[in-house]
Structure 1
Amino acid sequence: MNNPIASFPLSLKQCRVITEIMKKGTEKDASVSLNLSQSSVSRALSQAEQALQMSVFTRGWSGAEPTAKGEVVISSCNSLLQAIADTERHLQENTTALLKLRAYVEWRHLVTIETVVRVGSASLAAQTLGMTQPAVSKTLKEIENMVQQPLFSRARHGLIPNTAAKQLASLWLRISPIAQSLQQTLQSLPNELTGRLSVGMLSFSCQDIVPIAFAAIFKKHSGIRLQAMQGPYHMLANALRQGEIDCFLGLMRKGPIHPELIELPLLDIQYALIARADHPVHDYAKTLNDLTNERWIVARHGTPIRDYFESLFYSIDNKPPIQALEMLTFASSEELVIHSDAIALLFYDDWNIKQLNPRLKQIPICLPNPECTLGITLHREHQSTLIQMFIEELQLSINNKLTSKKNSPA
């Protein structure tokens, strides 16, 4: 008895499930796409992970996200399914009927047809594979229904393969080594730091130091999957609590935060009023009262910077402007200031304010208590080597900025 698929860790159904979860992001959406029940999809993924003794996906910000080893599995699955799709496309040229090879073919179909092509008869194939002849005939009938064309012509001494059978046999010979080597490929991966580091960024923050930290980590540990995404505080805090992200950065809160979360200060910064470099406001504005009728660009409601913005107007017994333009990113706010008459309330560290875009200029009005702190928010109980490494790279980036400022000519 010879069972060549016994060493294959994944079935083709499991490959289809894995690739579809990757494409759709959730098991629910994958089940709809595959026309399977969600329980069937979940079971197929669980069985695949048990066979591989690893997690293919982890829960992420946008749904299911592959682990470092999961990337290798997905790549193999994609190669297998692409080869099947290519063969189906060639077979489709011979018929107008809709083929179902990609959706339903399994390893037993391909190994059976390749064996029949090779030995020349169903009975010899049955002996070779340790199957009964009726089981071989039934399997050939199943795949013939998938490709909607005859596979063999009967001869006096056996079966003569038609073009479709030869193409399917060739498909088996191409993809079976890929499936067979998957486990060995996973085991031979370099023993280096791997995993996912998913970082959230609050609006108006961390645009310069996060890419530097990411670049340093990627250079040292190419097996780490790095992600950065932006969102409001409540979304990032909830994602952190649920394990969808590992941390997030932004202005530290002055009020209480969720008991599961902690904040670590990184950099002292200050609020600043910014306008276009040739804006008339630089000539006439001496106090906050001179700015009450200006157009404003600020962060959204519920952010520390928006709270500070409104407190400025309350401090001079004035209502905050209702028509303030809300922007989500630091870069877009600066760009909008350059191309408009609006004034922006932003925040900068000493280095960044000195490196301000020459088309922008700080309005020289003293703000009350402008100091604030850029920090990183972590889960109190779920911290890792990757997160600690990220914090160290952030601190190194900040120290390099401060050193550069200190050593720069006055």
Structure 2
Amino acid sequence: MNTTTAHFPLTIKQCRVIREIMKKGTEKDASTSLSLSQSSVSRALSQAEHALEVSIFTRGWSGAEPTSAGELVISSCNSILQAIADTERQLQQNTTTLLKLKTYVEWRHLMIIEAVVRVGSASVAAQILEMTQPAVSKTLKEVENMVQQPLFSRARRGLIPQTAAKQLASLYLRVSPVVQSLQHQLQSLPNELAGRLSVGMLSFSCQDIVPIAFASIFKQHSGIRLQAMQGPYHMLANALRQGEIDCFLGLMRKGPIHSELIELPLLRARYALIARADHPVHSYAKTLSDLVNERWIVARHGTPIRDYFESLFHSIDNKPPIQALEMLTFASSEELVIHSDAIALLFYDDWNINKLNPRLKQIPITLPQPECTIGITLHRERQSAITQTFISELKLSIQHKLTSI
């Protein structure tokens, strides 16, 4: 076949594989959905990335996630496959037998049909495409089996295209430019920061500064995909080690649990006891001992704030309250305090404690060593330009925040 006649950097099978990986999140699930082996799916993706000279997916928190170039590739694949599905739906009206066009059709099928429709002869089409006539005839038969209806009728002057052939030729003329222009579109992507920034957040941490940093990056770098997710420390640490996220923020510990991770301090904070503004505790509580029988809202076990909470009661020779309500987010904890008689152990930086919700009030009990640090945990060897940009934006957000006190 004359490769100069048409250039297809992606096969339609590769388009199916790419779309299904995007939908299912993993190559394994995509292979099940497509009824292909996982090795076949992996090979198709690898060949597509090699042909286009881009990475289409990166490993992420929830599975395969598209790169900025991958977003463009996926968009093209979706356009092509949607057009094929629409054509199959039209052809399905002519028969009750289930069609197989969108499952098996490839570029050579559509290209050959378009050529025969255009010249009205299988032999002439074969010459144009530098194929043998038997190969062209065999391909036409394959497509007739897919669409379960005749493509051409024979006449003295050649082959007369039927409705199905005309629709398939039209399909080829619509979708072939989409894939043929893909490499040029990829090469024309702006020369700026591009890729994924995936940020993990520990419970109670940095919910106010991360969106500000994200908004600034979103304005300046349209090619960056921004993600934020919340989870416990061990889950985020493992995700960072495996490259599923780029960093995570929260209260710093005495050091990361894995040697390949490092911590960077960002913001000083301190623990505080918080109750509803009209809670009776504000009038009678003078020491920690006065709070032993209160109900508590605290972070989950295994977090620095929970460790500190338990240390408070050990410091007064008391066991930590057993009946404590564990919350995962800062906002939900404050809301629960407002609507209950419970007391919360939270932590605030200077700005947040000064801007405390008026329906809340800090209990004026001096806590032992209440200082703590909010920081960002990074991989020692994997710190991209995007991650460094995010850190810079975080520091600017913190600086602006603290200067507005």
TM-score (normalizing by structure 2): 0.97
Contact 1:298 / 1:306 at 8 angstroms: preserved in 2? yes
Letter in 1 for 2:357: N
1:256, distance to aligned residue in structure 2 (A): 5.4
Listed one character per residue, the Cα deviations across residues 272-305 of structure 1 (whole Å, up to 9, x for unaligned) are 1112222222222222122122221111110001
1:352 alignment partner, SS class: helix
Q: Give the equivalent residue in structure 1 for 2:212.
A: 212
Q: Give the equivalent residue in structure 1 for 2:301.
A: 301
Question: Aligned equivalents of 2:120 and 2:228: distance in 1?
Answer: 57
Question: Aligned equivalents of 1:394 and 1:5: distance in 2?
Answer: 52
Taking a change above 3 Å as real, the CA distance of residues 245 and 82 of structure 1, as seen in their structure-2 partners, is same
Q: Which runs of 5+ in 1 are unaligned?
A: 406-410
Contact 2:5 / 2:129 at 8 angstroms: preserved in 1? no
Considering only aligned residues, what root-mean-square deviation do their CA atoms show, in Å? 1.3
Listed one character per residue, the Cα deviations across residues 352-371 of structure 1 (whole Å, up to 9, x for unaligned) are 01111122221121111110
Question: Aligned equivalents of 1:98 and 1:306: distance in 2?
Answer: 60
Question: Aligned equivalents of 1:379 and 1:301: distance in 2?
Answer: 25
Q: Give the equivalent residue in structure 1 for 2:315.
A: 315
Letter in 1 for 2:390: F
Q: Give the equivalent residue in structure 2 for 1:126.
A: 126
Taking a change above 3 Å as real, the CA distance of residues 4 and 104 of structure 1, as seen in their structure-2 partners, is farther
Listed one character per residue, the Cα deviations across residues 223-264 of structure 1 (whole Å, up to 9, x for unaligned) are 111111111110111111111111110000025531111111
Q: Give the equivalent residue in structure 2 for 1:64.
A: 64
State whether structure 2 residue 202 is matched by structure 1 residue 202: yes
Summarize the alignment of residues 6-405 of structure 1 with structure 2, pairs less than 5 Å apart.
6-255=6-255, 257-405=257-405
1:2, distance to aligned residue in structure 2 (A): 4.4
2:181 alignment partner, SS class: helix
Contact 1:193 / 1:224 at 8 angstroms: preserved in 2? yes
Question: Aligned equivalents of 2:176 and 2:159: distance in 1?
Answer: 23
Question: What is the aligned residue count?
Answer: 405
Question: Aligned equivalents of 1:154 and 1:358: distance in 2?
Answer: 85
Question: Aligned equivalents of 1:143 and 1:153: distance in 2?
Answer: 15
1:171, distance to aligned residue in structure 2 (A): 0.5
Letter in 1 for 2:75: S
Question: Aligned equivalents of 2:144 and 2:16: distance in 1?
Answer: 21
1:54 alignment partner, SS class: coil
1:229 alignment partner, SS class: strand
Question: Aligned equivalents of 1:117 and 1:3: distance in 2?
Answer: 20
Q: Which moved more, 1:36-45 or 1:307-316?
A: 307-316
Q: Which moved more, 1:318-327 or 1:100-109?
A: 318-327
Question: Aligned equivalents of 2:191 and 2:136: distance in 1?
Answer: 44
1:289 alignment partner, SS class: helix
Contact 1:3 / 1:130 at 8 angstroms: preserved in 2? no
1:4, distance to aligned residue in structure 2 (A): 5.8
Question: Aligned equivalents of 1:249 and 1:21: distance in 2?
Answer: 29
Question: Aligned equivalents of 1:294 and 1:89: distance in 2?
Answer: 66
Listed one character per residue, the Cα deviations across residues 181-214 of structure 1 (whole Å, up to 9, x for unaligned) are 0000011111111121111111110101111111
Letter in 2 for 1:274: I
